[in-house]
């Protein structure tokens, strides 16, 4: 092993010497956001209508931002790739949304939600952003209830909560197993109200393919009409990117088939820094892959771990059906390994534990890549009816897919790629290093560090859109004089040419490998070598293999059809081209970070108990990568200074 | 993978909104029964691409039955033969070896065919824009627990709010009525105190919009409820009518 290591060539990474500044306001942590709000510059109501804001994406972040900015009086243009904004992938979030309401009187507070999030993220998030997130969390619930979101309630009519991983309080609000859907429909309905008032111009079936920068500021976008293939341009005073995460780099993930990184990646190629790309979350409870034609993986909400118990047979040789295995021959390994949190350990901890027992040869079924999630004791305790009220739709979904009923047989689950903590780098204002380009929700990197806690993605998307951007965008617009720009400017012409050429060149290759085959190939490399556990060797191998896939893609792609019509293969090919480049950067980022933290697990760096071993001395920074054409990206570092939190080893035992 | 079946497919193919379409015939060999219907079409599209034919356009996203993106008609039934199931959640184990499957897009005047099986359901947005919301600006919500809502009311509101906007109801209705879709939103808001304030204006405006967009009238056929993948009940339509009468009478 050591000889092999020595023989590996060291990758040369150029580090930019000037440290990045997250522009966190001064003062006490608790007062930073109120101080910011009271000191920021405002745009007066009459002037707001002079500003055009381009919002890209209509998930929780984009939907809430569009609605709120329009309510304030800005002219908003909103773009989405779907036939209606209500289909954005936020809709598939199941379990819930966190908020420090302390309705359960169980000791919750803004401080505790902040601490749980920082700790859950393994001390790799920016302190002030996380505090602000916890602070506005309570407003989100008020807002959503006022919109008519039908959260779960008790008989007395009050809101009820459930627990999620990484927390010892019940602070998760939920609407059965369809919380994302209900929150998204809330944001969507607020958006529709503004569309009716003509305060939002809505553009559906449009994909952003480039960012236009004029005089150093983000001033427009180039989009493709997915129905006609026409390339169009829009100008504005700011661009708000809300295009979600990049989990589909792995091909098989819980993301929607259309979730992609293209808009973000094209911004990156125009100069926006990409931060912590290797921080990708594996969700422990997904339905295991069944065969080679699998097109995506389906999540089973983390909320199931409130009542489900995770186990495998004690012996790998025990091939009896689950109901014939007595208690004494079962290993409830999460409860055994982490008695304090039990089945509710954070996602990264749970996923690795599952991988470990499967690697030991105790996994289930033909693939050996599955463990039980068992509801028998909860059903005994609470009855079928109660369990059905809580998880009915999840149980139905499981049965539809697998043909087995979780009421009678334990579920089988295995981890899958679910969320990406990394994303475009933003400062405290949620603005990227390109002035005027704001990035919200999963598309930015800011709040979850190296691991996101369950029910915090919905919280962050809505916090950014409802309660952060309406303030920070005003501050930007009021502080900057922005000359009017025209979409006949050279910058637009050059970009339109490039976008068209790129699509044409994809169609000209006329090779033999389909987009799906190449995507599967990339996914296999990413999952095996840049997945749940990484080593220097595996990352080196990935850094060799990904360029080979890129080469194959550009020389052997088989793409049918034309660019002047709806052509899903063309859309997917263009997105895959970007995924391949992003995949390489993810491997490079993981290679650079010679420590384990949160979901980033480098096997070389672990405690004797197999937990991630951080190296705060060397790696307490955000890696923000600058794109360099045809060369290795340059690393910019933002030091993480914890003024209010002591960095400790996470312990969920 | 244990079992496989052979299938004959007749798939509607249409270049764009304005062109004529027709059925194309494809035979599928050795389809594993554990895969989903859309995965079966993925395989067909791979084969077509390999043989130099443009793949069939069909829409899908979450493939978990919640986004409402997918949907087409299989042998005359929107989303196919299984109750309360979108096509992405429909698995091949429900079909028999040798079956002939006729696959067509959701057809209705307000749903324009974009290509092959893909339709644009943007007209649903127009209905929501006509009043499918509570008029509240961000930041104005009172403390969430200051609005008490009984558990049963919350559950019923949820049942209505569970609509995914896929359009199967419209495609299955002989009148291409959007009554189930529209009434689901109206009833969702009607069952909550937050939504009751604007009841009268909302119901009138949304129903008018439904007509403007070219959807037909409801004649209590009930097929919408039968095909709805989320089990939205036609009780919602009764609620909508009751509310509409109230808004006219008063």
Task: List CB contacts (< 8 A) between A192 and chain B.
Answer: 125, 128-129, 132-133
**Contact (Cβ atoms closer than 8 angstroms) between residue A185 and residue A191:** no
Q: State residue A418's pLDDT score.
A: 94
Percentage of chain A modeled with pLDDT above 90 = 87
Is it the case that residue A611 has pLDDT exceeding 90?
no
State the nearest Cα–Cα gap between A155 and chain B, in angstroms: 5
Task: List CB contacts (< 8 A) between A175 and chain B.
Answer: 158, 161
Query: Is B102 within 8 Å of chain A by CB?
Result: no
SS3 A423: strand
Query: Is B30 within 8 Å of chain A by CB?
Result: no
Residues 6+ apart with CB under 8 A from A206: A79, A80, A81, A223, A224, A225, A226, A232
Q: Which of B64, B135, B165 minimises the CB distance to A92?
A: B64
Confidence bin at A7 (pLDDT 50/70/90): low
State the nearest Cα–Cα gap between A53 and chain B, in angstroms: 18
| DSSP3 helix / strand / coil % (chain A, rounded to 5) | 40, 15, 40
**Hey, what are A477's tokens?**
């617009």
Q: State residue B12's pLDDT score.
A: 98
| Residue of A101, A422, A80 lying closest to A259 (CA atoms) | A80
Average pLDDT along chain A: 95
Distance (Å, rounded) from C-alpha A84 to C-alpha A62? 13
Q: Which of A91, A145, A561 minimises the CB distance to B147?
A: A145
Inter-chain CB proximity A147 and B148 less than 8 Å: no
Give the pLDDT confidence of A533-559 residue by residue, as tens digits: 999 999 999 999 999 999 999 999 999
Name the CA radius of gyration of chain A, rounded: 24
Tokens 């079909």, residue located: B95
Task: List CB contacts (< 8 A) between B114 and chain A.
Answer: 83, 205, 227, 566
Average pLDDT over residues B88-103: 96
Confidence bin at A4 (pLDDT 50/70/90): very low
Count contacts between A and B (CB, < 8 Å).
Answer: 235
Inter-chain CB proximity A150 and B68 less than 8 Å: no
CB atoms within 10 A of CB B231: 11
Q: Which of B48, B63, B155 minimises the CB distance to A295?
A: B63
Inter-chain CB proximity A192 and B132 less than 8 Å: yes
Tell me the C-alpha to C-alpha distance, in Å, between residue A440 and each of A65, A110, A280, B169, B192: 9, 21, 17, 35, 31
Q: Which of A68, A83, A517 minimises the CB distance to B138?
A: A68
Residues of B numbered 202-241 whose beta carbons fall under 8 angstroms of chain A's beta carbons: which are they? none
Residues of A with a known catalytic role: 347
Q: State residue A6's pLDDT score.
A: 46
State the nearest Cα–Cα gap between A407 and chain B, in angstroms: 19
| Residue of A155, A86, A149, A462 lying closest to B195 (CA atoms) | A149
β-strands B77-78, B73-74: how paired? antiparallel
Tell me the C-alpha to C-alpha distance, in Å, between residue A625 and each of A146, A272, A622: 41, 9, 10
Alpha carbon A501 to chain centroid, angstroms = 31
Task: List CB contacts (< 8 A) between A151 and chain B.
Answer: 144, 154
Inter-chain CB proximity B67 and A295 less than 8 Å: no
Task: List CB contacts (< 8 A) between A258 and chain B.
Answer: 61, 69
| Residue of A585, A581, A617, A590 lying closest to A536 (CA atoms) | A590
Query: Is B56 within 8 Å of chain A by CB?
Result: no
Domains and CATH numbers, chain B: 4-115 (3.10.20.30), 121-137+147-249 (1.10.1060.10)
Inter-chain CB proximity B161 and A561 less than 8 Å: no
Give pTM, 2 decimals: 0.96
**Hey, what are A410's tokens?**
């334990």
H-helix or E-strand containing A396?
Answer: helix A376-402
Q: State residue A389's pLDDT score.
A: 84
Q: State residue A5's pLDDT score.
A: 44
Task: List CB contacts (< 8 A) between A397 and chain B.
Answer: 64-65, 89
The strand pairing partners of B14, in sequence order, are B21
β-strands A52-56, A75-79: how paired? parallel
Inter-chain CB proximity B85 and A141 less than 8 Å: no
**Contact (Cβ atoms closer than 8 angstroms) between residue A453 and residue A327:** no
Confidence bin at B2 (pLDDT 50/70/90): low
Residue of A nearest to B83 (CA): A400
Is it the case that residue A2 has pLDDT exceeding 60?
no
| Residue of A555, A348, A186 lying closest to B144 (CA atoms) | A186
State the nearest Cα–Cα gap between B177 and chain A, in angstroms: 19
Q: Which of B85, B114, B141 minimises the CB distance to A142?
A: B141
> Which backbone phi and psi does A208 adopt, to 5 degrees?
-75, 125
Domains and CATH numbers, chain A: 283-417 (3.90.700.10), 489-620 (1.20.58.100)
Query: Is B248 within 8 Å of chain A by CB?
Result: no
State the nearest Cα–Cα gap between B215 and chain A, in angstroms: 18
CA angle centred on A448, ends A442 and A452, rounded to 5°: 90
CB atoms within 10 A of CB B214: 13
Which stretches of A160-244 are DSSP H helices?
179-196
Mutation site for B-interface testing, chosen from A71, A85, A87, A390 by largest number of B Cβ within 10 Å: A87
Distance (Å, rounded) from C-alpha A88 to C-alpha A465? 15
Backbone CA torsion sign across A583, A587, A593, A597? positive
Is it the case that residue A396 has pLDDT exceeding 80?
yes
Q: Which of A146, A159, A295 minimises the CB distance to B140?
A: A146
Which stretches of A100-150 are DSSP H helices?
110-120, 127-147
SS3 B167: coil
CB atoms within 10 A of CB A29: 18
Backbone CA torsion sign across B165, B83, A374, B33? negative
Percentage of chain A modeled with pLDDT above 70 = 99
Task: List CB contacts (< 8 A) between A196 and chain B.
Answer: 129-130
**Contact (Cβ atoms closer than 8 angstroms) between residue A398 and residue A360:** no
Distance (Å, rounded) from C-alpha A537 to C-alpha A522? 18
**Contact (Cβ atoms closer than 8 angstroms) between residue A133 and residue A458:** no
Query: Is B244 within 8 Å of chain A by CB?
Result: no
State the nearest Cα–Cα gap between B248 and chain A, in angstroms: 23
Q: What is the dihedral of CA A453, A468, A88, B179, to 10 degrees?
A: 120
Residue of A nearest to B15 (CA): A565
Average pLDDT along chain B: 96
| Residue of B13, B26, B3 lying closest to B101 (CA atoms) | B26
Is it the case that residue A292 has pLDDT exceeding 90?
no
Distance (Å, rounded) from C-alpha A137 to C-alpha A98? 7
β-strands A634-639, A621-626: how paired? antiparallel
Q: State residue B222's pLDDT score.
A: 97
Inter-chain CB proximity B42 and A295 less than 8 Å: yes
Is it the case that residue A3 has pLDDT exceeding 80?
no
Average pLDDT over residues A220-240: 98
Give the pLDDT confidence of B178-201 residue by residue, as tens digits: 999 999 999 999 999 999 999 999
**Contact (Cβ atoms closer than 8 angstroms) between residue B91 and residue B35:** yes
Average pLDDT over residues A322-347: 94
Residue of B nearest to A203 (CA): B122
State the nearest Cα–Cα gap between B68 and chain A, in angstroms: 7
Is it the case that residue B228 has pLDDT exceeding 90?
yes
Q: Which of A86, A147, A204 minimises the CB distance to B134?
A: A147
State the nearest Cα–Cα gap between A424 and chain B, in angstroms: 24
């Amino acid at each position: 092993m050591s000889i092999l290591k020595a023989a590996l060539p060291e990758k040369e990474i150029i580090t930019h010497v000037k440290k990045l500044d997250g522009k966190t306001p001064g003062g006490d942590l608790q007062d930073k956001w109120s101080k910011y709000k009271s000191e920021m510059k405002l745009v007066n109501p009459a002037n707001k209508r002079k500003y055009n804001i381009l919002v890209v994406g209509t998930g929780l972040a984009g939907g809430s931002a569009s609605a709120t900015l329009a309510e304030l009086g800005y002219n908003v243009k909103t773009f989405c790739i779907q036939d209606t904004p209500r289909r954005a992938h936020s809709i598939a979030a199941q379990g819930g949304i966190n908020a420090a309401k302390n309705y359960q009187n169980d000791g919750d507070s803004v401080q505790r939600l902040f601490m749980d999030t920082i700790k859950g993220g393994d001390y790799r998030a920016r302190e002030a952003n996380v505090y602000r997130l916890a602070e506005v969390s309570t407003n989100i619930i008020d807002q959503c209830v006022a919109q008519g979101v039908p959260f779960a309630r008790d008989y007395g009519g009050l809101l009820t909560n459930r627990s999620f991983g990484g927390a010892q309080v019940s602070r998760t609000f939920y609407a059965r197993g369809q919380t994302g859907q209900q929150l998204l429909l809330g944001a969507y309905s607020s958006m529709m109200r503004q569309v009716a008032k003509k305060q939002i111009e809505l553009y559906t079936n449009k994909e952003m393919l480039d960012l236009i920068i004029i005089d150093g500021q983000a001033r427009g976008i180039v989009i493709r009409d997915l129905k006609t293939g026409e390339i169009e341009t829009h100008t504005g005073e700011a661009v708000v990117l809300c295009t979600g995460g990049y989990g589909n780099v792995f091909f098989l993930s819980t993301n929607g088939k259309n979730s992609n990184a293209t808009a973000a990646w094209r911004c990156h190629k125009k100069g926006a820094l990409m931060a912590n790309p290797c921080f990708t979350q594996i969700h422990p409870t997904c339905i295991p892959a069944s065969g080679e034609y699998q097109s995506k993986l389906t999540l089973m909400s983390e909320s199931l771990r409130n009542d489900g118990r995770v186990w495998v047979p004690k012996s790998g040789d025990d091939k009896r059906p689950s109901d014939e295995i007595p208690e004494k021959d079962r290993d409830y390994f999460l409860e055994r390994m982490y008695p304090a949190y039990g089945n509710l350990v954070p996602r990264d901890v749970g996923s690795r534990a599952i991988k470990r027992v499967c690697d030991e040869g105790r996994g289930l079924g033909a693939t050996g890549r599955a463990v039980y999630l068992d509801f028998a004791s909860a059903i005994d305790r609470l009855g079928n009816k109660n369990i059905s009220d809580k998880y009915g739709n999840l149980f139905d979904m499981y049965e539809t897919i697998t043909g087995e009923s979780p009421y009678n047989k334990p579920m089988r689950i295995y981890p899958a790629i679910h969320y990406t903590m990394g994303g475009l780098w933003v400062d405290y204002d949620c603005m990227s290093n390109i002035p005027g380009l704001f990035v919200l929700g999963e598309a930015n990197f800011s709040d979850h560090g190296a691991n996101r806690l369950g029910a915090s993605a919905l919280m962050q998307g809505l916090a950014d859109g409802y309660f952060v951007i309406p303030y920070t965008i005003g501050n930007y617009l009021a502080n900057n004089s922005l000359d009017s720009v025209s979409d006949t400017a050279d910058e637009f012409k050059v970009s339109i040419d490039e976008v068209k050429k790129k699509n044409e060149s994809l169609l000209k290759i006329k090779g033999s490998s389909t987009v799906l085959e190449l995507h599967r190939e990339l996914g296999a490399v990413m999952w095996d070598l840049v997945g749940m556990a990484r080593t220097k060797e595996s990352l080196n191998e990935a850094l060799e293999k990904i360029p080979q896939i890129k080469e194959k893609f550009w020389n052997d792609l088989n793409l049918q059809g034309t660019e002047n019509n709806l052509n899903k293969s063309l859309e997917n090919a263009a997105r895959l081209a970007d995924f391949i480049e992003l995949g390489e950067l993810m491997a490079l980022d993981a290679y650079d970070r010679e420590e384990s933290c949160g979901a980033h697990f480098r096997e070389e760096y672990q405690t004797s108990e197999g937990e991630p071993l951080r190296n705060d001395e060397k790696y307490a920074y955000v890696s923000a990568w600058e794109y360099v054409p045809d060369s290795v990206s340059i690393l910019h570092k933002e030091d993480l200074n914890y003024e209010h939190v002591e960095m400790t080893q996470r312990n969920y035992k | 993978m244990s079992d496989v079946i052979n299938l004959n497919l007749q798939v509607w193919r249409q270049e764009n909104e304005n062109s004529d379409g027709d059925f194309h015939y494809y035979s599928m060999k050795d389809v594993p029964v554990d895969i989903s219907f859309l995965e079966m079409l993925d395989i067909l599209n791979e084969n077509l691409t390999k043989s130099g034919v443009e793949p069939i356009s069909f829409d899908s996203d979450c493939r978990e039955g919640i986004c409402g993106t997918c949907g087409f008609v299989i042998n005359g039934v929107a989303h196919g033969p299984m109750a309360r199931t979108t096509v992405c959640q429909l698995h091949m184990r429900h079909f028999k070896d040798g079956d002939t499957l006729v696959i067509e897009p959701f057809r209705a005047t307000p749903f324009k065919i974009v290509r092959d099986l893909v339709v644009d359901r943007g007209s649903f947005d127009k209905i929501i824009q006509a009043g499918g919301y509570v008029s509240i600006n961000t930041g104005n919500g009172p403390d969430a627990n200051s609005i008490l809502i009984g558990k049963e009311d919350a559950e019923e509101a949820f049942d209505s709010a569970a609509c995914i906007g896929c359009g199967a109801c419209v495609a299955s209705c002989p009148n291409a009525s959007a009554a189930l879709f529209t009434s689901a939103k109206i009833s969702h808001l009607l069952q909550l105190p937050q939504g009751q304030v604007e009841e009268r204006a909302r119901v009138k405006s949304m129903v008018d919009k439904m007509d403007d967009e070219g959807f037909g009238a409801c004649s209590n056929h009930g097929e919408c409820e039968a095909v709805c993948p989320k089990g939205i009940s036609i009780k919602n339509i009764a609620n909508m009518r009751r509310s509409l009468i109230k808004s006219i009478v008063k």
